[in-house]
Structure formats: C-alpha cells, structure tokens
Amino acid sequence: RKEVEQDPGPFNVPEGATVAFNCTYSNSASQSFFWYRQDCRKEPKLLMSVYSSGNEDGRFTAQLNRASQYISLLIRDSKLSDSATYLCVVILNTGNQFYFGTGTSLTVIP
Amino acid sequence: GEEVAQTPKHLVRGEGQKAKLYCAPIKGHSYVFWYQQVLKNEFKFLISFQNENVFDETGMPKERFSAKCLPNSPCSLEIQATKLEDSAVYFCASSQGDEKLFFGSGTQLSVL
C-alpha cells in the first residue's frame, strides 16, 4: 500500500470556481504535512504547510484530519495561473522521510 | 550555493549505456534526496543521504542504481546499463533537517 494516495484528476474548472483536493496517508505516525505545487515538469515548490487547526493563505486553505488520515487543499476563486499539479507530501515521525503523492492535475479554463 | 544545482539538464543514452547525474545541495544542508518522476507523474523516492552517509535507500533499485555523496564533491546518481523504463526526470532535493525541501531543476534522462 502506498504511503500517500491522491486522485490524479485531471480537474478542469472554470476561472473563479472553487476546487478541493484530498490526499490520504496510510501511516498514523505521520507527523508533518505539506502541499507542493509543480508546474510543467519543473521542480516542485512548497505551497503551504498543513496544520491540525487548519490554515489559510489568501485563496488557499489547507486542512488536516488526523482521525480519518487525510489532508485537503481548497482553492477559491481559481485563476488561470493556478493550473499546475498539486503534490501532497507527508513526513513520518522518523523525520526526513518525505513521501509524495502522485499529484493532482488542475487546469483552470478561461 | 544558494540553490540546489543539478547537472546535466538533459541526458540522452542508448539502452545499455551508463548514465551519471550530479547534484550540488545548498551549502549547509546536510540531507540530500533523489526522486524519480516518470511520465505518469508518480514521484518515486530513491535514496537519501545525511552528509556522506546513506540515510534511507529503500527506494533504490539495487541492481543498476547507485549513489554517493562524498565530501567536497557534488552528490551523484549513477545508472549502469540503462533501460527504456529509466527514462524520467530525476530530481535532487536538499534539506537542513527542518522539514523544508528545496529542489533542483531536475535532469531529464532519455533512454533510446
């Protein structure tokens, strides 16, 4: 079983729409969670960390549900520039073991 | 350096040839990670180092893949006798152990 699972999509949404992605993880000992963004096969870049209390950064909201072992990313008022692949990343409690999901592809359509 | 430097950007090899990829982590970062990303977007962990020591090699195909991080040299990932399915983008990342990963721009390996 994979450590991290994501729906690969693709998600095709119109500009201005709200879209949400989920990611599940298998190891209950996982301690840290992140969303990375990857554009067109370039290097992934950190989008935001995910905290138990939930956190928001502009149009982006990330949440963690430890009981059900999933994290989510909500994008409001989608922009064309949001088109990318969003990767869910989990760190196990041993630290410095980063596990990536397969990524969810988002295309925002004019 | 201020960024993770990967070389070369592109590498073309015939089946059976050797491929060697290089990665210079950010100065001061003690952890180095190698990932393989094939066309379907799966980001596969290969190996990680803490300084010169292998930290986790659970993702490494043992038969043809090897990696090193030696003092005062870029880290390297070597594939002996490449196969078609080795075609992928190989990303290197470094960390100073604080859960933040910084990626290089990757090496596109094409095996023909």
pLDDT digits (tens, 9 = 90+) for A33-75: 999 999 987 899 999 999 888 899 999 999 999 999 999 999 9
Q: Is B56 in the A-facing interface, judged by CB distances under 8 Å?
A: yes
User: How near does any CA of chain B get to the CA of A98, in Å?
Assistant: 8
pLDDT at B88: 95
Q: Is A27 in the B-facing interface, judged by CB distances under 8 Å?
A: no
Nearest-CB residue to B41 (from A8, A89, A97): A8
Q: Is B72 in the A-facing interface, judged by CB distances under 8 Å?
A: no
CA dihedral for B50, B52, B54, B59, sign (positive or negative): positive
pLDDT at A93: 63
Residues facing residue B24 across a β-bridge: B5
CA terminus-to-terminus distance, chain A: 38
pLDDT above 70 (res B111): yes
Q: Is A16 in the B-facing interface, judged by CB distances under 8 Å?
A: no
Contact residues, chain B, for A43 at CB < 8 Å: 91, 103-106
pLDDT at B1: 66
Q: Do the chains contact at B106 and A41, CB–CB below 8 Å?
A: yes
Q: Is A95 in the B-facing interface, judged by CB distances under 8 Å?
A: yes
Rg value, chain B, Cα = 13
Give the model's confidence band at A82: pLDDT under 50 very low, under 70 low, under 90 confident, else very high. Answer: very high
3-state helix, strand, coil in chain A (%, to 5): 5, 55, 45
User: How near does any CA of chain A get to the CA of B75, in Å?
Assistant: 18
pLDDT at A53: 86
User: How near does any CA of chain A get to the CA of B99, in Å?
Assistant: 7
* Closest residue on chain A to B41 (Cα): A102
CA distance linking residue B79 with residue A75, whole number of Å: 40
Q: Is B36 in the A-facing interface, judged by CB distances under 8 Å?
A: no
Residue A20 in tokens = 């949400």
Q: Is A40 in the B-facing interface, judged by CB distances under 8 Å?
A: no
